[in-house]
Amino acid sequence: MLTKTHLLRYLQRKAQAVLQPLHDGQSSLRDESLRHLDEVISKADANAEALRHLTVSTLFNRWLTAPHALASRNEVGYWLNWLGLVGEGVEVGVFKGQFSHHLLNTWEGQRLTSVDPWKEFPTSEYIDVCNLAQEAQERNYQETLTRLEPFGGRSRALRMTSASGSHEFTNGTLDFVYLDAQHHYEAVREDIRAWSSKLKTGGVLGGHDYLDGVISSGVYGVKQAVDELAAALRVEVIVTTEPIYKSWFIRVP
């Protein structure tokens, strides 16, 4: 028979998984958070809400010590809540809507707009495993709409390019923008230019795949474009700790 203790320990393992991507240099922070998690679990009920409480409590406790310690992009929704950025946000480059779905599940904001043209581009313009044939793009678009439908008015899908989508928003109104569209240097630089002015003071500009070079999944120049922005603003780049496909974040000064 599955007891309450067994369920609690299962929830504990799930919550611990949030902390594991922290690298060795943050081991003391991880250990402190795990001790806090053990204290919380002794008071928790064995259900889905308990898992959420464990995860949120553990993460918030970590950020009280290290506000910029992000293990993976799966923490971003909780981090935005902790920062009080719960107005309007945008994801640019949606694919099948999995990350938009995750954000809407974890972020307490008013509305997320998911921007993607769901369009096949010539390989001379865009070399990436996500640059699929148009038939596949249509399937991905429909899958995204189905996946995000349960969120009702909190979710909006805009079938537009990044540049066109940015014109739908007034400057200084967005809490965050997460860029995961074309990854070559020129495209990322243009996305940064198009969206950075849309953010509030204190808002977050971020994105996926903080790396440069040619690898099996495509051509990347994200790191170069992001580092140039950080240098111009004289701010740090907050980088998650995944082995390869890290996410990056910059708070608008």
Per-residue pLDDT of 123-147, as tens digits, reads 888 888 888 899 999 999 999 999 9
The pLDDT-based confidence of 105 (bands split at 50, 70, 90) is very high
* pLDDT greater than 80 at residue 13: no
| pTM recorded for the entire structure | 0.84
The mean pLDDT value for 18-35 works out to: 62
Question: Encoding tokens for residue 42?
Answer: 């002794």
DSSP state of 149: G
CA angle, residues 80, 81, 82, in degrees to nearest 5: 90
pLDDT for res 154? 98
The pLDDT-based confidence of 6 (bands split at 50, 70, 90) is low
The pLDDT-based confidence of 45 (bands split at 50, 70, 90) is low
Lowest mean pLDDT among 15-19, 68-72, 228-232: 15-19
**Parallel, antiparallel or unpaired: strands 247-251 and 155-158:** unpaired
| DSSP secondary structure, 54-109, as one string | HHHHHHHHHHHH-TT--SSGGGHHHHHHHHT--SEEEEE--TTSHHHHHHHHH---
pLDDT in tens, 202-247: 999 999 999 999 988 889 999 999 999 999 999 999 999 998 899 9
The pLDDT-based confidence of 1 (bands split at 50, 70, 90) is very low
Higher pLDDT pick, 17 / 205:
205
* pLDDT greater than 60 at residue 31: yes
Is the Cβ–Cβ distance between 96 and 145 less than 8 Å?
Answer: no
